[in-house]
Amino acid sequence: MKNIAIILMDQIRTDMLGCYGHKIVKTPHMDEFSKDSIKFTEAYTPASVCCPARTSLFTGQMPSNHKIIRNVEKAEVKDPSPENPNIISQLKEYNNIYIGKWHVGGELLPKDYGFSGHNFDGYGYPGSKLYENMIFDQGPKKEDRYKNWLIENNFKIPKVTDVYFGDNPHLIVQELCGKLHCPKEATLPYFIIDEAKKEILKSKNTNKPFFIWMNFWGPHTPCVIPEPYFSMYDPNDVVLDKSFYTPLENKPLHYKNISKMWGMWDASEENWKNVIAKFWGYITLIDDAFGEFISFLKREGLYEDLFLALTADHGDAMGAHRMIEKGEFMFDSTYKIPMIIKDPCSSRKGEIEDTMVYLHDLTPTCVHINNLSIPDFFDGKSLLPILRNEKFQERKGILGQLAGHFVSFEQRMWRRKDYKLIFNATDICELYDVVNDSDEMNNLFYNPLYKSIKKEMLYELYDEMIKINDPLANWLYRIIDCI
């Protein structure tokens, strides 16, 4: 049986990764890993907020099937049942390990599903109420392994300075960026790696295969990072998106409110570039921690035969359309995710793959690796045929589902390789020619020249919603011939 590792970055804009072609951001360890792997360029999250996306990866299901279509902090939800299939339910011969951020469901923890390792509840940010001077308060309420780890390793409690919150005086609750005073080895990414190494070594001594799901808390804001990462990138080198300068023309008015909430709609270019530079620094910090993990695997003789997928739960606008973070908008900056997979049984090395895939396609893939039976419960499809040059039935498109983030705002996306359609149930809808308008600036939904493609995509979207029991399908169908 193959050892399996899934590594999830938190909220990362794919085109700001060096390994995806960014000219400034340094990710040398991911770049090197890509040479042993297949890099997917058309991978998507089913929902651009944490809990729905992570629950999809855990359950293998679309949000409307696992019933979590917005973060649990904003809605009453039921946890995925431990009786239902999930990413480890078939891996009964494995040591199943969970490290880092959880944010799956509401009350149940990894241990309730059979994982060893960490049990951070909710968002579980370990720096909350721990880092000196830090305002952000979404820490774990049940346990914080990070605090004890710092003490065990003789690290002082880090301090945060040089913070920026955005320009909304009513929302001084989450630092967008700041300087963390500690060595890199005391940061959250290195905490994750160190804890993963310990669990893997324990598993190695049992002579059983391991499955490990490792989740970073970054580069999601707050981007509080130490030197040299804090000063690594010059804000003057940040080139803002074209859409930054003509934001949200012919787009739902609600989008502007999201940016204003964060205090970034009217923020100066200087402040925007500063936040983005710190986001870049966080990416490189994570890359260095990832490199330490790869070195460990090679030292222990575990790398060559390991199935390893590096991906993310969702993206981050980080300046596109003058938006930040994620939420009730469906641009590619938040729905397209990195996905780099090393399959020891594949002859494909250092290749690029443009098949459209979902984050939760990894769920049946983890079962398929050892030729175990894939439950019909899963909505995702195994990626092994793609990885191993076998027949794979390509999708027409990708469905995105969101019921809101900070407020209720029902949205559905149908993303093909040529066009993207967004159904906003309570605002204007959107249609983009993503081949010729990759910045998604020109909304074609109400252009009569695109009536036929709009109608075609609306019916494709409806058919897909019916297939996976989307509760908004009937509302779309009622008005499909009116828009």
Q: What is the pLDDT of residues 214-246, one digit of tens each?
A: 999 999 999 999 999 999 999 999 999 999 999
* 28 upstream amide cis, omega within 30 of 0: no
Percent of the chain whose pLDDT exceeds 70: 99
373 found inside a domain:
yes
Res. 479 pLDDT band, cuts 50 70 90: confident
pTM listed for this prediction: 0.97
Where is pLDDT greater, at 248 or 15?
Answer: 15
For residue 398, list its beta bridge partners: 415
Residues of the domain holding 13: 4-387
- What pLDDT is stored for residue 106 in this prediction? 81
Closest CA to 318 of 287, 279, 265: 279
User: Is it the case that residue 311 has pLDDT exceeding 80?
Assistant: yes
- What pLDDT is stored for residue 73 in this prediction? 61
Count of structural domains, the chain = 2
Same domain assignment for residues 369 and 412? no
Same domain assignment for residues 347 and 425? no
Same domain assignment for residues 123 and 188? yes
Q: How many CB atoms lie within 10 A of CB 479?
A: 12
Q: Domain boundary residue among 334, 368, 387?
A: 387
393 found inside a domain:
no
Same domain assignment for residues 68 and 172? yes
Q: Transcribe 273-326 into DSSP letters.
A: HHHHHHHHHHHHHHHHHHHHHHHHHHHTT-STT-EEEEEES----TTGGG--S-
- What pLDDT is stored for residue 394 in this prediction? 93
- What pLDDT is stored for residue 482 in this prediction? 80
At 482, the amino acid letter reads C
- What pLDDT is stored for residue 78 in this prediction? 80
Angle at 276 between CA 46 and CA 284, to 5 degrees: 80
Q: Which two tokens stand for residue 325?
A: 């973070």
* 228 upstream amide cis, omega within 30 of 0: yes
323 found inside a domain:
yes
With beta carbons less than 8 A apart as the criterion, state whether 426 and 409 touch.
yes
Sequence-ordered list of residues with C-beta below 8 angstroms from that of 473, at least 6 positions apart, any chain: 462, 465, 466
Q: Domain boundary residue among 320, 353, 387?
A: 387
204 found inside a domain:
yes
- What pLDDT is stored for residue 71 in this prediction? 76
Spatial distance between the Cα atoms of 318 and 340, rounded to a whole number of angstroms: 22
- What pLDDT is stored for residue 143 in this prediction? 87
Res. 483 pLDDT band, cuts 50 70 90: confident
Spatial distance between the Cα atoms of 372 and 378, rounded to a whole number of angstroms: 14
Q: Domain boundary residue among 357, 387, 417?
A: 387
Rounded mean pLDDT, 296-306: 98
Q: Transcribe 208-220 into DSSP letters.
A: --EEEEEEEEEES
Same domain assignment for residues 80 and 122? yes
Rounded mean pLDDT, 144-167: 97
Same domain assignment for residues 191 and 278? yes
Q: What is the CATH number of the domain that holds 469?
A: 3.30.1120.10
Total residue length of the chain: 483
User: Is it the case that residue 70 has pLDDT exceeding 90?
Assistant: no
Same domain assignment for residues 380 and 403? no
How far, rounded to the nearest angstrom, does the alpha carbon of residue 50 sit from its chain's CA centroid? Answer: 7
Same domain assignment for residues 283 and 376? yes
Classify strands 408-415 and 419-424 as parallel, antiparallel or unpaired: antiparallel
Q: Which two tokens stand for residue 69?
A: 């279509």
- What pLDDT is stored for residue 4 in this prediction? 98
Rounded mean pLDDT, 359-388: 96
User: Is it the case that residue 74 has pLDDT exceeding 70?
Assistant: no
217 found inside a domain:
yes
- Residue 318: half-sphere exposure toward Cβ, Cα within 13 Å: 31
- What pLDDT is stored for residue 40 in this prediction? 98
Res. 260 pLDDT band, cuts 50 70 90: very high
276 found inside a domain:
yes
392 found inside a domain:
no
User: Is it the case that residue 75 has pLDDT exceeding 80?
Assistant: no
Q: Which two tokens stand for residue 88?
A: 């480890």
120 found inside a domain:
yes
Same domain assignment for residues 416 and 376? no
Closest CA to 60 of 30, 26, 37, 90: 90
Rounded mean pLDDT, 79-104: 96
Same domain assignment for residues 363 and 452? no
Lowest-confidence range among 63-72, 107-116, 121-130, 454-463?
A: 63-72
Q: What is the CATH number of the domain that holds 129?
A: 3.40.720.10
Percent of the chain whose pLDDT exceeds 90: 91
Spatial distance between the Cα atoms of 168 and 173, rounded to a whole number of angstroms: 10
Spatial distance between the Cα atoms of 472 and 1, rounded to a whole number of angstroms: 42
Q: Which two tokens stand for residue 34?
A: 């890509």
Q: Transcribe 9-38 into DSSP letters.
A: EES--GGGSGGGT-SS---HHHHHHHTTSE
Taking the alpha carbons at both ends of the chain, their separation in whole angstroms is 52
DSSP 3-state of 165: coil
Sequence-ordered list of residues with C-beta below 8 angstroms from that of 314, at least 6 positions apart, any chain: 11, 45, 47, 48, 49, 50, 53, 326, 334, 335, 337
- Give, as one character, the DSSP assignment of residue 80: P
Same domain assignment for residues 101 and 154? yes
Average pLDDT, the chain: 96
Sequence-ordered list of residues with C-beta below 8 angstroms from that of 333, at least 6 positions apart, any chain: 13, 15, 315, 316, 317, 318, 320, 323
Same domain assignment for residues 196 and 49? yes
DSSP 3-state of 92: coil
